[in-house]
Chains A and B, each alone.
Chain A
Amino acid sequence: MTHEHDVMITITVNDENHEVPEGSTVAYLCRDIGLDPEKVAVERNLEIVPRSTLEEALVRAGDRFEIVHFVGGG
């Protein structure tokens, strides 16, 4: 999906800087990192991004994403 002429925007994912092409969806971001959007939950600037909207919601420059999943615990 990335082309040479794409304008890249910088965001943070779990406090780490990350770049995606402008116009990327949140679902694209997940896959770009190597994650299945169906298996995670995404928060953007402390607001939940509903799973049903991941394929449409656009990533914006400066967004702070928190991406979590289920792990072992008591």
Chain B
Amino acid sequence: MTSHTNNSWTVAGQTFHSRLIVGTGKYKDFAENAAALEASGAQIVTVAVRRVNVSDPKAPMLTDYIDPKKITYLPNTAGCFTGEEAIRTLRLAREAGGWDLVKLEVLGEAKTLYPDMYETLRATEILANEGFKPMVYCVDDPIAAKRLEDAGAVAIMPLGAPIGSGLGIQNRVTIRLIVEGANVPVLVDAGVGTASDAAIAMELGCDGVLMNTAIAEAKQPVQMAQAMKLAVEAGRTAYLAGRMGRRKYADPSSPLAGLI
């Protein structure tokens, strides 16, 4: 269930204090990635599952820099274009890691990296039946979100804009509708470009935000990671505080009585 406290949220029975999930792709090197993770305060990182390099098995590994015992590895199926590929990838991921919490992402086309919702829904159902706890990347469709939840998604992760675009939250209305209708955590996954975007996602009532490129491709990734941490906290706090109503015209803050 969605938590309504500021300091933690729970997905598939696991409670986290940080509402920021960060990716581990596109960094200059593992050291920078680890430093950005530290600055972000994130407790979950997304990771990919790929073939080992048989010709260079001693090459540095992600696990040498980010300890899976301290940080939750969330295996992702990025790059999969069919339900079968995604399911195969996650079965291997479960074997490599030993846990069921995974991120499902079934892409429809390379140009937009939009999810293929038919395949996504189908794969969600199969994975849930196999005991996986899938957090699911999806379109910003409130009805599709309900279908995913019914199929066994433990979190709904709509895009705010195309993956890696950094265009910011382009769909505030539909994200809010998904948040209002969901009984599982909702996290914006994709589209964040800078700190204000993350704050907007949180002000809409999302339980968290997932990002990769916005940090990895910043001029100073570690500094941006810290900015994202603050933005997510600020956005969440503002959501809980409840924003003022919007007025069409000005309303003075100083009293009119006693004017000289």
Contacts and interface: CB of A to CB of B under 8 A. Distances in A.
A14 B75 CA distance: 20
B41 interface: no
Contacts of B94: 41
Interface residues of A, number: 25
Nearest to A46: B88
A51 B75 CA distance: 17
Interface in B15-71: 23-27, 30, 33, 46-52, 54, 57-58, 61-63, 68
A7 interface: no
B58 to A, nearest CB: 6
B167 to A, nearest CB: 16
B76 interface: yes
Given A46-B88, A68-B92, A70-B75, 15 more contacts: A33-B57, A42-B95, A43-B92, A67-B51, A68-B49, A68-B50, A70-B48, A70-B68, A70-B73, A71-B62, A72-B27, A72-B48, A74-B23, A74-B25, A74-B212
Contacts of A40: 52, 96
Interface residues of B, number: 38
Given A72-B33, A72-B62, A74-B213, A33 B54 contact: yes
28 contacts: A14-B51, A14-B54, A16-B54, A18-B54, A39-B63, A41-B92, A41-B93, A48-B91, A48-B92, A48-B95, A51-B95, A51-B98, A68-B50, A68-B92, A69-B52, A69-B63, A70-B47, A70-B62, A71-B48, A72-B25, A72-B27, A73-B25, A73-B47, A73-B48, A73-B212, A74-B24, A74-B26, A74-B48
Nearest to B92: A41
A69 B26 contact: no
A39 B57 CA distance: 12
Interface in B219-258: none
Given A48-B95, A74-B78, A66 B25 contact: no
A41 B91 CA distance: 9
B25 A68 contact: no
A73 B61 contact: no
A65 to B, nearest CB: 10
Contacts of A18: 54
A69 B54 contact: no
B164 interface: yes
A34 B75 contact: no
User: 3 nearest interchain CB pairs?
Assistant: A73-B48, A34-B57, A74-B212
A72 B54 contact: no
A74 B164 CA distance: 9
Interface in A24-74: 33-35, 39-43, 46, 48, 50-51, 66-74
B63 A68 contact: no
A35 B58 CA distance: 8
Contact of A69 (B27, B33, B96): B96
Contacts of A74: 23-26, 46, 48, 76, 78, 163-164, 212-213
B48 to A, nearest CB: 3
